Every structure is written in C-alpha cells, then in structure tokens.
Amino acid sequence: MENMTHNTDHAVTLEKITALAKRRGFIFQTSEIYGGLANAYDYGPLGTDLLLKVKQLWWDFFVRRRDDMVGLDSQILLHPQTWVASGHVDSFTDPMVEDLVNHKRYRADSLLEDFFAKNPDEQQGIVIADLSTQELDALLEKFQIQSPDNNPLSKTQDFNILFETAIGAVNDKKNKVYLRGETAQGIFSNFKQILNSSRQKLPFGVGQIGKSFRNEITTGQFIFRTLEFEQAEIEYFFDPKTTDWQELFRTWQNQMWDFVTKVLGVKAENLRWRRHTDHERSHYSQETYDLEYRYPFGWKELWGIAYRTDYDLKQHQQFSKQSLAYIDPQTNEKFLPHVIEPAAGINRLVLALLCDAYLEDPDKDRLVLSLKPQLAAYQVAVFPLLKNKTELVTKARTVYEKLRQNFQVAWDERGNIGKRYLAQDEIGTPFCITIDFTTLEDDTVTIRQRDSTKQERIKISELDNYLLAVLA
C-alpha cells in the first residue's frame, strides 16, 4: 500500500468518485433516461448495501447497545403547526439570488465561496457565514460576481427551503403541509408519549433514522447536498441543573469522532471540528459545532451537534397547549429538559466513505476501494479459474455455497482472472478466492488480499476460520 495515493494527496476528485459510483453500481442519477433530476440520486445494488450498513452500524453504536437510548420512527408528514412552532416556517431559509436572464437560482453565499476559492487573496478575513443579505449583495457587486452562465444576478433574498405539499381529496379544501426538513421534530412532538411508554429517566436519548427533504437552491457536489436525504438524529434530554451541558456536549463529540474513525474507518487527518459563529448558528441553538470532512471540493459538514436548550419542547408546549414537562421521580419537580442534538446526514457519511477509501495504485494500474470489511458489499469473492471447465466451476460453486453460510460472497466467472481481481478491488471486496486445477488435486485454493494483493494457498476446510479471524 506504500505507493497508493488517496485524497490527502489530492488524487481523488468528485468526477472520479461519481464515475466509480455509477460504473460499479453504487449511485445513479435519478431518472437519468429522462435527462435526470437535479439534486436527486438513486442508490444502486452496491450503494443500497453500503447505505444500509452505515445505518445499521450507527443504530447499533448509538441506540441498541445503550441503556439510555430508545428509538423512534416518526412520519414524514407532520401536523403543519409543528413547523410553525419549531420556527422553521419563519427561519428555515437560505440566501438566494436569481440569474436575471435564464432565471436559474443560486445560493449567494455559495457563489461567493466559489469566488474566494479561486481568489483566496480577496477574502481577507471575511467570514461568509456571518454576512447579512445586504453584505452579500455588497460583496457580489464589489467583485462583479455573475451567475455560472455569466449573467447578472438579482438582489439576495431569503428563500424558505421547506417543501410544501397538500393533503385532502377536494381541491378547494386541501390543507397545506410540509415534508419534514429534519427528523428531530417528530421526536419532540412525541416526547411525552415516549416518556410515558418507555419509563426512561433523565438523562436519556431518542434516536431516529429517516428521510428529510429540503428545497435546496444550490445543485452539484454529487450526493453531498440533495433534495431528499437520510438523517440519523439523536435528541439527548437532560436536567440542566444537575448535568453540565458543556461536559455532555464534549462527551457526544468524542462519541461522534470515535464512530467515524473507529467504526467507519475514516482517516483522522481528513476530519476537523468547526464552531458555528453567532450569526451562523440556527435559531434554536445556543452552541453548534460541525464535524467537517475534507471532501474533494473542500472542508464541509459531515455531522453537526447542537445544544438546543429547551427551545423545541417549550415551543411545542406553547403551541399545542399540552404539557411536555418531565416530572423528577425524586423531587416531583416539573420542568422542561434541555437537549443535546448530534445530527448526521447518512448520505454525506456515504460520500465521505467513498472519498476516503478511494485509492490509486499506479504500480499495478488499479483502483481500490479500501473499505473496512464490515462496510464492503462482499467480504469475499469466489472465482473458477476458467468458466469453460465444468470441474472447476462445480468445485467453485461448492466453495461459494459453503462460504455463503457465514459471509457475503460474490460469484464472478466473467473475463480473465486479472480483470475479475480489478473489478472486486474497485467495489471493495477484501478477499478473492480462486479455484484452479491444483484445487482439484489437494483441496487448496488461492486467496488474494485486496489491499496488498498478497496471495497464499489455504485448505478449503480452513477457509471459514481464516476469514473469520482476518475480518474480525
């Protein structure tokens, strides 16, 4: 692996990741046969597997193994007052400008960010996240920034990114509702029912994985920013009088870091923490940090954590006229708990994994997706050396069926053996097993390691124990 390069050497580009994802069945553009849909992607056979494994690992790490966590699966469509109470109807906005010629819309801050990326000397300490719409307009004018199509831009305005829809069978009696912009509000609105049914005591958390929707202005950057995405959110409730929120905040930061580096295997040098400025921070948050990943297009949010205080419970209690108070079992005191919220975009985790695992091996003219074995679509692939030799194919199928009892196994008899190795390297399969003529004589197979390409002979009877040991 010494001669391989990865994204710290700037070898990976978004174009390379996109091409690999499409070629090997990880991610496709939605409705591509009709020209596609901007900011929308489908997960192919291997991408579906990767997405599911990331979610399962997250759920296992943060929910299933913890006594202080329970789960929830709330609806995508919530009562519209939910979003009024949460502040999203008024405050869930992005700064938007419009191309005055073709009427395409863009985020003003993203256009300015792209300009500074190409002209870093011009930034001179400007913090884009802190800029008001008026300040954005002033800078767009100062630097004569136009649309990507080189057309003049409108003035910046706040654009609400909640998706609106309607329910009701009669046209004139339809009620406006929203596709949820975050999964969190389902947790807050169900807080009392979760408390009564689970009998949890503070501190405790509620975890949820589900779809969220945002009418994003900016397109591009592959699956980093999409109209529809999966969130993995935790709302961790605690008593602010007995729990130091800053210490709890740091504890959750450490757990987020451990999950990304130790469970998913992302390189620590490609991660950093960034604190939100007062202007940037959401309306509900007293403190927010982003765990950022170094994507090919720069440092961007991978996972956020916010101290939401009692804002959400207080708002829902006020708007619903229903008590959401927690009753302390020792003192009988009633109060609204405070909340720490770690919220991850699963799609961004998947993109980070693809970028982080992408390796180029120029010495062997190959690409390798060096995923951890528990994330790979297949732990092992089985090949007959030649597909036109019945005895080899029969023996290989026997090995294949045997290993399927304990592992995810790929079968491949297409093309020559070298091309099969390269294909499995690209999809991230850690081991390949070849059944050859020697196998017919002594019941041994050739097993090849993905990262090192090292090969060795091993008895078929020892394969299960061997793989269990190296994949643990």
Lowest mean pLDDT among 150-154, 158-162, 240-244: 158-162
Q: How confident is the model at residue 12 (pLDDT cuts 50, 70, 90)?
A: confident
Q: Select from 302, 400, 390 the least CA-distant residue to 354.
A: 302
Q: What's the confidence (pLDDT) of residue 10?
A: 45
Q: What is the mean pLDDT of the chain?
A: 91
CA distance 192 to 202: 13
What is the CATH architecture of 93-160?
2-Layer Sandwich (3.30)
- The CATH 3.30.40.230 domain(s) of the chain lie at 93-160
**Residue 173: pLDDT above 70?**
no
DSSP string of 433-460? EEE-HHHHHHSEEEEEETTT--EEEEEG
Give the CATH class of 7-90+162-358: alpha beta
- pLDDT for 197 equals 93
Phi, psi of 285 (to 5 degrees): -105, 140
Q: What is the 3-state composition of the chain as percent helix, strand, coil, each rounded to the nearest 5?
A: 40, 25, 35
Residue that wins the pLDDT comparison between 129 and 101: 101
Residue 194 in contact with residue 206, Cβ under 8 Å? yes
Does the structure show a pLDDT above 80 at 54? yes
With a pLDDT cut of 70, the percent of the chain lying above it is: 96
- The boundaries of every CATH 3.30.930.10 domain in the chain are 7-90+162-358
Q: What pLDDT is stored for residue 364 in this prediction?
A: 84
Q: What is the pLDDT of residue 111?
A: 87
For the entire predicted model, the pTM comes to 0.87
- Residue extent(s) of CATH 3.40.50.800 domains in the chain: 378-471
Give the per-residue pLDDT at 8: 43
Question: Which position has the higher pLDDT, 336 or 101?
Answer: 336
* Top mean-pLDDT range of 85-94, 155-164, 245-254, 413-422: 245-254
Per-residue model confidence (pLDDT) at position 1: 46
* CATH class label, 378-471: alpha beta
Asked whether residue 305 carries a pLDDT value surpassing 50, the answer given is yes
pLDDT in tens, 204-228: 999 999 999 988 776 568 999 898 9
Mean of pLDDT values over 80-84? 90
Nearest to residue 60, comparing CAs of 216, 240, 261, 263? 263
